[in-house]
Amino acid sequence: MKHLTPLDADAYLRAQPRALFVDVRMEIEYLYVGHPPGVVHVPWYEYPEMQAHPERFVEQVRREAGGDSSRPVVLICRSGKRTVDAGLALEAAGFVDVVNVVHGFEGELDEHFQRGRLNGWRHDGLPWEQL
């Protein structure tokens, strides 16, 4: 698994038009916090269960990738943590080019336990939209 900063992931996505960009956050995060334009939403886990189902996740990503496990897959979540587990599940299922967006969409917590002030997709000024 590759680990790229948001700026590097954005450049990678522009250079790899075949890449599948997947947001693994819960639906409420995806809709109300915001997401990069064109990203496909496939949650790693969902409320209220909050339990990952790796097989289901892999199958949904495989479907989005058109069954092509050689297609590059770029994963983003809130802070870059869920995507590690999701990426490992994809690699175990045979995906060969998996990218984790470190710091995710909102970034790491600062000293005041707030996100979006240190790093992340939005912090870095990359395009995003919300409901």
Q: Could you read off the pLDDT of 45-102 as tens digits, one per residue?
A: 999 999 999 999 999 999 999 999 999 999 999 999 999 999 999 999 999 999 999 9
Question: Residue 131: its pLDDT value, please?
Answer: 85
Average pLDDT (2-6) is 98
Report the C-alpha gap between 30 and 69 in whole angstroms. 25
Token pair 């297609």 in the structure block, residue: 71
Q: What is the model's pTM?
A: 0.96
Would you state the structure tokens that stand for residue 110, as one six-digit string? 């600062």
Give me the residue spans of the domains in the chain: 2-101
CATH class of 2-101: alpha beta
- Min mean pLDDT across 38-42, 91-95, 96-100, 114-118 is at 114-118
